[in-house]
Structure 1
Amino acid sequence: MTLWLGALPVLVIVAVLATVLLRRRRRAGIYAIVAANVAVLMGAALVLLTETSASAATQATPAAAAATDAAASGASGSALIAAAIAVAGSSIGAAIAVAYTGSAALAAMSERPEMFGRAMVVVGLAEGIAIYGLIIAIILIGQA
């Protein structure tokens, strides 16, 4: 866990630099964002693998109580990572959907102002994608 706290400032700096690069040189900014995402993905996989290997090592000991606690800790850690992925993926999907539907709704409303109600329904449906991810995360955390 301390590894993540040490890597957090580096990831923030990379995110800020990627934003600056996106404004000046678009392709280099996209490469920086993809590299940061790959680094976070590899770090999450490393944490997940160390958790499962630690729980497997403690199960080899004869203490049944310690093995049960470690197995529960590894399972809950995996459930929390899965919940985070569900929320992040659905939020990114909702952001992309709202970006496209929102711009199309504004374009339609600029030509025909009476389209406001229909346009807001479409944008609201796109925003519902994030709610679905949140519900899945709550279910995953509840079962952990």
Structure 2
Amino acid sequence: MTMTAKFILVVALVLSIAIPFGAYLLSEKKKGNFKASVIANSFFFFGTLLIAHVLLFTGTASAADGSAAASVDGWRYLAAALSTGLSCIGGGIAVASAASAALGAMSEDSSIMGKALIFVALAEGIALYGLIVSFSILG
């Protein structure tokens, strides 16, 4: 990979974060622009993935070269990282909602602590499922 390709990739990665959230922070109406910011960030993120795929995984592939196996391994690692990361983010959001509701309910009636802990544990299980999926992808 040439130096210009590395530079283009680094600039694309930085811009994929800076442009949408910079526009979100500079906007007057922060409630309505969050959705547009997330859509723009997703567009730039997947565009950067496409650029990385074109720059890193192009070329001729032969049986003795092994570059096709490296391409498949790269996508496997990316899939494992995304399954773990996104499930942990989802689990964190679910635990935040369930735990705050459980604490509010337990402050009124302390006899429901067991039921409340079950809901918090079920929300935490989402992250564990993502970790299991990433192990099955890598294994």
Give the TM-score band, short-chain normalised.
0.7 to 0.9
Q: 5 Å matches for 1:22-101?
A: 25-48=30-53, 53-54=58-59, 57-59=60-62, 64-66=63-65, 69-101=66-98
Moved more, 26-35 or 94-103: 94-103
Cα deviation 1:20-62 (Å, max 9, x = unaligned): 36995211122112210221123224434555543xx222xxx
- More helix, by proportion: 1
Going from structure 1 to structure 2, the CA distance change for 1:34 and 1:21 (only over 3 Å counts) comes to farther
How many residues are paired up?
Answer: 134
Going from structure 1 to structure 2, the CA distance change for 1:33 and 1:116 (only over 3 Å counts) comes to same
| Aligned Cα root-mean-square deviation (Å) | 2.9
Going from structure 1 to structure 2, the CA distance change for 1:73 and 1:137 (only over 3 Å counts) comes to same
Going from structure 1 to structure 2, the CA distance change for 1:126 and 1:22 (only over 3 Å counts) comes to farther
CA contact (8 A) 1:48 1:77 kept: no
TM (normalized to structure 2)? 0.74
Cα deviation 1:52-81 (Å, max 9, x = unaligned): 543xx222xxxx421xx1121011011112
Structure 1 stretches lacking a partner, 5+ long: none
Moved more, 4-13 or 114-123: 4-13
**Identity level (%):** 31
Moved >6 Å (runs of 4+): none
Going from structure 1 to structure 2, the CA distance change for 1:82 and 1:119 (only over 3 Å counts) comes to same
